[in-house]
Amino acid sequence: MTGEAIPALFARQAEALQAAPLFLARRDGAYRPITWAQAAEDLRAFSLYLLQQGVEPGDRVLLLSENRPEWALADLAIQSVGAWTVPIYPSLTGEGIRAIGQDCGAVIGIASTPEQAAKLLAVNRDMGCFRALVAMEGAAQAGQPPVVPWEAALAQGRAAGQELREQLGRRLGDLRPEQTATLIYTSGTTGEPKGVMLSHRNFLSNVEACLQVVSIRGQDTHLSFLPLCHVFERMAGWYLMMAVGARIAYAESMDTIPRDMLAVRPTIMLGVPRFFEKLYFSIQGGIRQAPPAKRRVAEWALRVGRAAAACELAGRPIPWPLRLRRAIADALVFRTLRSHLGGRLRFFVSGSAPLSKEIGEFFYSVGVTILEGYGLTETSPVIAVNRPPVPRFGSVGPLLPGVEVRIAEDGEILTRGPHVMQGYYRKPEATAEVLAGGWLHTGDIGHLDAEGCLVITDRKKDLIKTAGGKFVAPQKLEGLFVADPHISQAFVYGDRRPYCVALIVPNMDQLRRYAQQEEIPAASAAELVRDPRVAAFYWGLVQARQQGLPSFEQVKRIALLEQEFSQAAGELTPTLKAKRTVIAQRYAAALDALYQSAP
């Protein structure tokens, strides 16, 4: 596999699987299949269209789209002519798109909708660099250049003459694994985004290594909802599924995932911790709202599930009375819960940020396995991943085959191997710095445990050094806090301060129920979070969560916020990681106030 380019892998699979469904896309209210043969035909047509527009090997092509089959086909078509795919988050503003377009010198723009195409048209008015613009939906739009509908571009490609068809054959034949396949601009929680150059070999070495340790089969169905422009979904949700011939269904939106899971009945899904946190809160909330008899049964089942899971996770046999009780709990409660996930799910894979150990163990106890992994855009992306059937929660699992890791003296994780990027685009100094000594410096702090599993402590740049010289890992604390169903989000702060404090975002549904039980009158969320009784309640929750930690690690004061951190407000990255600098600046007054009096 690593001896070929990605389009060659697709061509081999398409030849073998012609009539089998590759994509499932929701059209006219139902999921409809697109076969490998149909996809191969459209891929060839769009590749020819790109040649008609004069796209040369090494050219950069912007791809601005939500997840959909056309995204995947456009990606392969760009690679097929030797160009580089430059994926862009559809949430990005015109200013952000302009910065990327100017940095990479893009020659073609591809958008999903008329609204996204309008962003590219506006950018082109300033840059004037696009030779062509294509929109996957909608009619032709006037502009410079005019926006060509996807179907019209395919029709133009199908009408190409023999000379262009021979040229496409030569381009495909000239592709080599070591050539650049994509330029991915890291979203970045701080600093200026950089373009990461990844080769065909980078991606396919990671695909091959993942398949050696995690069983994914041609019979699997993956429901894709994480952005394809993120390297995690791109490798594991597209190239890896392509490599085994699995089906890929695209969720219509984040809001429709529950409905889409029931319709598609996936066997595999990729997610980020925020997704699992919300699912956990939803389950806990449903149990609390159930009638008393059902609630008691559910709570009994959860106790049984936790006890059985504790045996398995510790490598001990489950005593037969407990095994019997778990079978009853599964029949009464857990099977129904799993049916809401489609009823066929074999496992989730979690990446992008640390998953709470408590949440991982909760899902495992009800028969839903989450395999947490770890990696970076710069590593294509996976460095380590947990294996089924029994993950090691609290770690990101053993290293992938072929991946080397070394822990530096300051605890930073260093890695080398075929998964490591070619470098940052037009940034030789930054490339040399991050690849110093032949090892990629991840910027993450961690260690390998006695079983050879990698444990991530925090981001090196995020570590808090208090005024007393003590180091505190904020993500560790935040993970503890959000495992409480009453807490939706948490942000720990305290660099160069005498102690750490936290901003806590309540789960408003849970908070309103608590207020009702305690007869706390409040007309709005703002009034609730200002109520002293609510503040005392949440302080108690935080205290309970951090009990047992050294005093210097514990937060000493908290402030409650009435609204969640969001991507729209610029506080979260597209993969829902906190932009710590932005949050600290936006809530500077609230944070400063926490230091105005003794804790």
Between 289 and 238, residue with greater pLDDT:
238
From residue 241, alpha-carbon distances to 89, 90, 201, 212, 248 in Å are 22, 23, 16, 14, 7
pLDDT score at 471 = 79
Please give the Cα distance from 307 to 317 (Å, whole number): 12
Task: Tell me the HSE value of 170 on the side-chain side, using a 13 A CA sphere.
Answer: 9
Sign of CA dihedral 486, 488, 492, 493: negative
Query: With bands split at pLDDT 50, 70 and 90, how would you rate the model's confidence at 486?
Result: very high
Between 189 and 8, residue with greater pLDDT:
8
pLDDT digit string (tens) for 337-370?
A: 999 999 999 999 999 888 889 999 999 999 999 9
Q: Is the pLDDT of residue 51 over 70?
A: yes
Q: Is the pLDDT of residue 168 over 60?
A: yes
pLDDT digit string (tens) for 547-578?
A: 888 888 899 999 999 999 988 888 988 777 88
Please give the Cα distance from 203 to 179 (Å, whole number): 11
Average pLDDT score, the chain: 93
pLDDT score at 190 = 45
pTM score of the predicted model:
0.86
Give the domain ranges of the chain: 6-175+214-267, 271-343+346-460, 463-593
Tell me the CATH number of domain 6-175+214-267, given options 1.20.272.10, 3.40.50.12780, 3.40.50.620, 3.10.290.20.
3.40.50.12780
Minimum mean pLDDT range among 55-64, 188-197, 546-555: 188-197
- φ/ψ of 454, rounded to 5, equals -85, 130
**Among the listed residues 350, 394, 389, the one whose alpha carbon sits nearest the alpha carbon of residue 373:** 350
Percent of the chain with pLDDT over 70: 99
Query: Which superfamily, per CATH, for 463-593?
Result: ANL, C-terminal domain (3.30.300.30)
Query: Which superfamily, per CATH, for 271-343+346-460?
Result: ANL, N-terminal domain (3.40.50.12780)
**Among the listed residues 297, 248, 243, the one whose alpha carbon sits nearest the alpha carbon of residue 269:** 248
Q: Is the pLDDT of residue 199 over 50?
A: yes
pLDDT digit string (tens) for 303-345?
A: 999 999 999 999 999 999 999 999 999 999 999 999 999 999 9
Comparing 6-175+214-267 with 463-593, is the CATH topology the same?
Answer: no
pLDDT score at 598 = 64
What strand order describes the sheet that includes 555-560? 487-493, 500-506, 555-560
Q: Is the pLDDT of residue 299 over 90?
A: yes
What strand order describes the sheet that includes 440-448? 404-407, 412-416, 440-448, 454-459
Q: Is the pLDDT of residue 174 over 90?
A: yes
